[in-house]
Structure 1
Amino acid sequence: MFTRWPPVTPPVYPPKFNRSLVAVRGTVYCKSCKYAAFNTLLGAKPIEGATVKLVCKSKKNITAETTTDKNGYFLLLAPKTVTNFGFRGCRVYLVKSKDYKCSKVSKLFGGDVGAELKPEKKLGKSTVVVNKLVYGLFNVGPFAFNPPCPK
């Protein structure tokens, strides 16, 4: 006599996440003297030519730099060795301003100590294609420089 067992159901596997390259976007501003001591961008103006740097710590440090456009916007494409599986080891720093009248790095949103990358969560907006390569999109900032203000 054989006992019938219920049919075996296959195990449920978690969904597979596709590996993608990493692109980081953000903006850089020059804060106004009126609000320089506050964590706000009231009265701030975008800075063209500001340099931001991506630093990823893994077995070896991986870095990349880019500059902002006339609207203070940047899109930093990480080296191809950095993927969305390892983005947690990466930070973005403010490096320098092209505007000597506004060149002191502020503490706003971690531009001075390195801001953590935040994945873009908007459906359909979480990737960007550059030169036929798909990049996962991450956000940082906005960052700001302080002008020398009279006390």
Structure 2
Amino acid sequence: MSSTKVFSLLLLFLALAVGNTSLFPRAAADGTKKAVEGMVYCQKCKYVGSWNLDGARPLPSAKVSIICKDHKHRVIFYDSAETDRNGYFYKLLDGAHLRSATFDPVTACTVRLLASPDTSCNRLTNVNYGIQGAKLRDESKTNSDEHCETELYAAGPLAFKPVRCHPRTHY
């Protein structure tokens, strides 16, 4: 076999191998993707210590982590997401284990607060388990495009609290 044919076969094999490990998100076997969405807020001082988010403001550029574990509690997915200017985050769950028909984000995944860029509101709270890990909810929402459908799972809302709050006086 000539070196040109060997080289051509090697290139073909390499192209097939790279095609199977694409950097682009893939759909599950049934053509469905899975994604996580949620909101991150800055809690008002008057509600610090509670889970109340009345009057809370959305926190742009805040970061959360998404962790999914298998039935043996081994991490099979870890990534972070950043909120947009409205405090909303969205992250596609992608990976071989996550495309399996038995993978259930509700039981396998949690979302945690990571960081807030707002120096006046960057203290972690456990509102909706933002420190411990907020479980996902299946709210039966989907997004569809021409190629596949994406099942959406929700977490939170999560919140940071202000660095300084004036003490409350009770008379």
Give the TM-score range, shorter chain: 0.7 to 0.9
Q: How much has 1:150 moved relative to structure 2?
A: 3.3
Q: Does 1:64 align with 2:79?
A: yes
Where does residue 5 of structure 1 map in the other structure? Answer: none
More helix by share: 2
Once residues 132 and 19 of structure 1 are traced to their aligned partners in structure 2, the CA distance between those partners, rounded to angstroms, is 8
Conservation of the 8 A alpha-carbon contact between 1:64 and 1:79: no
**Same amino acid, percent of matched pairs:** 33
| Change in 2 beyond 3 A, CA 1:104/1:32 | same
Alignment gaps of 5+ in structure 2: 1-29
Post-superposition Cα deviations, 1:36-58, rounded to whole Å, max 9, x if no partner, equal 12211112100000001110112
Which of 95, 113, 122 is the equivalent residue of 1:103? Answer: 122
Q: TM-score, normalised by structure 2?
A: 0.68
| 3-state DSSP of counterpart to 1:52 | strand
Quote the residue 2:60 is aligned against: 48
1:117-150 Cα shifts (integer Å, max 9, x gaps): 11123xxxx2224794432110111000011223
Q: How far does residue 33 in structure 1 lie from its aligned partner after superposition?
A: 0.8
Stretches of structure 1 that go unaligned for 5 or more consecutive residues are 1-17
Residue equivalent to 1:33: 45
Normalization by structure 1: what TM-score?
Answer: 0.77
Decide whether aligned partners of structure 1 residues 102 and 62 sit closer, same or farther in structure 2, where only a CA change above 3 A counts: same
Deviations 1:89-120 (A, max 9, x none): 11111111111111111111111111111112
Match of 1:150 in 2: 166
Q: Does the C-alpha gap of structure 1 residues 134 and 109 become closer, same or farther in structure 2, counting only changes over 3 Å?
A: same
